[in-house]
Amino acid sequence: MKQPFSPMQFEEQRLLHVKHSQLLTQQEKYWRQPAKTMWLKDGDRNSAYFHRKASNRRSKNTIKSLTNEAGEWQSEPVIIKGVLMDYYQKLFTTKGTGDEAILEIISATSMRVTSEMNADLLQPYFDEEIKATLFQMHPSKSPGSDGTTYSPSFYILGFHIVALLAESGANLLP
C-alpha cells in the first residue's frame, strides 16, 4: 500500500472499496432479520438475553490491544492512546510533495468545473440574485458549523435593512 501506484490502480482500488461496501451491506441485511426476530421474542423483557447482548456488544467494541510500528502488541490504555495518536499524526501529515506528484494527482482527477462553468461563476452577481437565493432557503435551518453565523430567518427578516444600507453605498463587509 505504501508503494506509489498509477491512476489505473487508484481506480481499481476505488472499485474494490465500492464492492466491499456492497458486500458488507448485503451481509448486514442477511443477519438483521434473524436478529430482529430474536429481539422481538426475547429482548424487550429486561431479560438475561438483553444483558448478554449489551455485554457482548461492549466487549466486541472495546480495543484491548494494538500493535505499534515495531510490530509489538501493546495492551496498556495509555500506550494504546499513544499508538493511536502516532498513527493518525503520521496519516494526516506530510513531509512535502514534489511538483511531479501534484501534477500526477491532478491528471488522475476528473475535472468537475468546465471552463464555461467557471466563466459563469466569475460573473458579477446582482442584488436580485442574492435576494432570490436567500428567500429560497428554509428560514429555520441551523447556522454554520462555526456558530458565528445566523439562520436564514435572521437575514430574511432584516433584508430590507441590508437593502437600504446597500443602496446608500455603505460598506457591509468588515
Tens-digit pLDDT profile for residues 78-113: 998 999 999 999 888 877 778 888 888 888 888 888
How far is residue 105's CA from residue 111's CA, in Å, rounded to a whole number? 12
CA 131, distance to chain mean position in Å, is: 30
Domains identified in the chain, total number: 1
Query: Would you say residue 6 lies in a domain?
Result: no
**Residue 151 belongs to some domain of the structure:** yes
Q: Quick check: is 149 in a domain?
A: yes
Asked if residue 162 is part of any domain, the answer here is yes
Does 156 reside within a domain?
Answer: yes
Q: Is residue 143 part of a domain?
A: yes
Confidence of residue 123 (pLDDT cuts 50, 70, 90): very high
Distance (Å, rounded) from C-alpha 86 to C-alpha 91?
8
**Cell reading at 54:** 449489551
Angstrom distance (rounded) from CA 110 to CA 103? 13
- Residue 83 lies inside a defined structural domain of this protein: no
Q: Is residue 130 part of a domain?
A: yes
Q: Is the pTM of this model over 0.85?
A: no
Residue 145 sits in which domain range? Answer: 124-167
Q: What is the pLDDT of residue 62?
A: 81
Question: How far from 136 is each of 70, 131, 140, 165, CA to CA, in Å?
Answer: 56, 9, 12, 22
